[in-house]
Amino acid sequence: MSSSAESPLDPDAHPPSDKSTLTGLLLRWMLALATLVVLAFLLGRWFRPELEGMGRSFVERYGLWGMAFGTVIADGLHFPVPPQFYMLMSIASGGPQLGAFAAVTAASLLGGCIAYALSGVLGGVPWFAKKLARSSSVVTELYARHGYRVVLLASLTPIAFSVLCYASGLCRLPKSAFALIALLRIPKLAVYYYLVRLGWG
């Protein structure tokens, strides 16, 4: 009896072509971006006064350091509040945006480096290694097949940046390849920021 959903790591399964892989990743990323815009629009439409007050309160109380700290633990320790939240707080507050974007971006890169470095330590923890085993195997296989082109593919995935960084460390992706993943995080964050602002209106 054959399974209708073969594992992509099954050696007997036919690997997807480069074109279908790239198309699938692009479609998933476009869906994630569309979801971000719609969510920002709905929040701005239904909860604008509340979020504006919350944004001003957050910025006044925690400032850029608070945004940076939240982003570091999000992208370094997989904390479930993503950088987009701090972008929304900054936009809703009506304050200067350039400093907020710079703080979130720098903190995201630092968090990614922390995740990559910690993967060597946490890789020895059975629960953690098992949790990321599939992601690490996929990254390893893609890197073996595509080399540095896998960096572009990885940057188009909607998966959490922290997970991607941990998986890169666990599968011992070269530091140069990881550095490129980190640099590609910058334009991705810029797209996120623009779409949050667009959705907020």
How far is Cα 92 from Cα 187, in angstroms, rounded to an integer? Answer: 22
Angle between helices 161-170 and 48-77 (to 10 degrees): 0
Are 192 and 75 a contacting pair, CB within 8 Å? no
Give the ranges where the chain is alpha helix by DSSP (H). Answer: 18-46, 48-77, 83-93, 98-122, 126-131, 133-146, 149-155, 161-170, 175-200
Per-residue pLDDT tens listing for the chain (201 residues): 433 333 333 433 444 455 666 677 678 778 888 888 888 888 888 988 888 899 899 999 999 999 999 999 999 988 888 898 999 999 998 888 899 999 999 999 999 999 999 887 776 667 666 666 666 666 666 666 766 666 666 666 767 788 888 878 877 778 888 888 889 899 989 988 998 888 887
- The pTM of the full predicted model, rounded to 2 decimals, is 0.77
Amino acid at 24: G
How far is Cα 54 from Cα 39, in angstroms, rounded to an integer? Answer: 17
Q: Indicate the burial class of 59 (C-beta count within 10 angstroms; 0-12, 13-18, 19 or more).
A: buried
Q: Where are the domains of the chain?
A: 18-196
